Structure 1
């Protein structure tokens, strides 16, 4: 059996016992202690690596030259936009992701954001801890709606989008989706409505929940034109990738009242750096117009101990399948968007 070395550059775990057990006796597991980028990994570790497993760390073209033996990159998560797939393809390096972890968690969080906004949970939380607190009574707001009176629009019906759609349906929402890559029949199988175009989905979505991957086709997919196609007083939820949604346009639509509320687990640049998007700056400053209407969380929708266990195990299994056994498990084609 060939001998391989697999590098986990971020030092995510206190030991490598699980990885050694899954990958097998013929594979050495190397750990780095890099915090922000592959440029922090020692040259001798890079020179040994046949496989690379990264969670938060990008894999840019300029770093690939430091990995002369590299055959497989496993992105330890669903999204693969942090890996320069064109540069990997030019080197014959296979790129994989882990598409089947955290599905329940992200779907639940998306629906939770919508419910917290639509039922006034965040509104009353914010107003009751104000100084002075709001009166002990109903706060008039365009946010608050009955689920059964609304359509929950799902943009992207992959694993997470499907799980979100089923949860929203169970709560009483009418559910519609748009996904140009999905074959006919999904709507009938799930008992939800299919929108032929994005515009058709937007026009009926009292809640828009974004579940698309970040690709060339989806970057900036939802801008001001699209947001203004939503019914007035809609709610927007994004638990996918920040650059899919134009947050400056979202702020304008929130400020003028066309969009009633927004729940974002992702923003265009993570972690955010100065100059911050105006929306994030207003939210952190607790500007009056954001009260009860905006919630931003730090890309944690996936987080449970069980999801972290899945990331670790499924990443190691994917690396074993592709690097050691020559299978095509979770391989992202170079020509994919």
Structure 2
């Protein structure tokens, strides 16, 4: 007889072969029979049986947890866990787990691709050469284009993905500086990069900024108009973390004024965007002149490759199995880390 039951809230894969291989006979796996749009679509019977709950896109509020009387662990099938009510889970002594290592290289590559595409003018030349009539057959002299070795590449947050970004930026010749108040002294020495004591110190010297902090109460709205204005004129901002960390309206204001030379976003505050969309997204879709070649928006796709998608599946199952059956729970997010 299975000794634990795991409920998948979303139908993300065609079959359960990988999960059954990882969980083995000790875990009963419940997949929804059809695609679901929220936790409300799950049956009361399945919710009542679940000791482990797997979440990909859905949000879990305190009210939702009342449907899960036996729940012991929730695994967010991804890195971020801002869609889970950790306070309510802690009150019920429910573990919150995540999968921090499934798409590290993909997101790091994506962040660098955004930064380099902007800083090398790839999108700017692309837009002008396909215009009607096309631009002259020559380079564009614009503050957006700068040699890597004369730039400071600033990073907010220095976790796994940011570390991978720092190493890539170093390889391209950038001077790399980061700000992360939660890391112990000496991390910078191991990476061979520099460290800023404050966010303001980082921003003042940063030419290309890449955001890699989780979304918490502390980081929501961390980079607003005041903070982004501290960047030198002609700076580039890249965000592959979470949309609400960067004030998208402030980014629009500074890009339109020319203070920012470029912006690359894989995340926006509301996903998918809903009407009325923010000015930055509206102007991007309308192909307004001040966005052409200076603004790149991708649909929260930085994490994705087929290999990363498979990793989410297997690593989340391994994480949940360890939490329910031991020998030791992994990737546990403590409530006080917010």
Query: Residue 336 of structure 2 aligns to a residue in which SS?
Result: coil
Q: Give the structure-1-normalised TM-score.
A: 0.98
For the residues of structure 2 that align with 1:233 and 1:218, how far apart are their CA atoms?
A: 24
The alpha-carbon deviation at position 326 of structure 1 amounts to 5.5
Residue 190 (structure 2) pairs with residue 189 (structure 1): yes
Distance 2:48 2:115 in 1: 47
Question: Residue deviations 1:174-203, cap 9 Å, x none?
Answer: 100001011111111111110010001001
Distance in 1 between residues matched to 2:240 and 2:286, nearest whole Å:
23
C-alpha separation in 1, matches of 2:36 and 2:235: 39
Alpha-carbon contact 2:36-2:42 (below 8 Å) kept = no
Aligned to 2:13: 13
Match of 1:105 in 2: 106
Point out where structure 1 has 5 or more consecutive residues left out of the alignment: none
Larger mean Cα displacement after TM superposition, 124-133 or 99-108: 124-133
1:27 alignment partner in structure 2:
27
Distance (Å, rounded) in 2 between the aligned partners of 1:53 and 1:129: 45
2:42 aligned partner: 41
The CA distance in 1 between the partners of 2:50 and 2:191, in whole Å, is: 44
| Matched residues, number | 337
Check whether the contact 1:98–1:330 (CA below 8 A) recurs between aligned residues: yes
Aligned to 2:119: 118
| Closer/same/farther in 2, CA of residues 235 and 244 from structure 1, 3 Å limit | same
Q: CA deviation at 1:2?
A: 6.3
The alpha carbon displacement at 1:131 in A equals 2.2
* TM-score normalized by the length of structure 2: 0.97
Counterpart in the other structure of 2:91: 90
- How does 1:140-179 map onto structure 2 within 5 Å? 140-179=141-180
Give ranges in structure 2 of 5+ residues lacking alignment. Answer: none
Q: Which residue of 2 aligns with 1:59?
A: 60
Give CA deviations for 1:102-150 in whole Å, capped at 9, x if unaligned.
1011011101100000000010111112222222222232100000010
Paired residue secondary structure (1:175): strand
**1:156–1:179 CA contact under 8 A, matched in 2:** yes
Query: Is this contact kept in 1: 2:151–2:175, CA < 8 A?
Result: yes
RMSD (CA atoms): 1.1
Given that 1:219 and 1:243 are in contact with CA atoms closer than 8 Å, whether structure 2 keeps it comes out as yes
Is the 2:236–2:260 contact (alpha carbons within 8 Å) kept by the matching residues of 1? yes
Q: 1:336: how far off?
A: 1.6
**In structure 2, what is the Cα distance between the partners aligned to 1:242 and 1:150?**
25
Alpha-carbon distance in 2 for matches of 1:327, 1:53: 18
Is the 8 Å Cα contact of residues 117 and 143 (structure 1) preserved in structure 2?
A: yes
| Correspondence 1:306-321 to 2 at 5 A | 306-321=307-322
Q: Which residue of 2 aligns with 1:335?
A: 336
| Partner Cα distance (1:61, 1:271) in 2 | 24
Q: Helix, strand or coil for the counterpart of 1:321?
A: helix
Give distance in 2, aligned partners of 1:14 and 1:2. Answer: 23
Q: Write the distance in 1 (CA, Å) between the matches of 2:91 and 2:130.
A: 56
* Cα distance in structure 2, aligned partners of 1:40 and 1:140: 55
**Greater CA deviation, 30-39 or 83-92?**
30-39
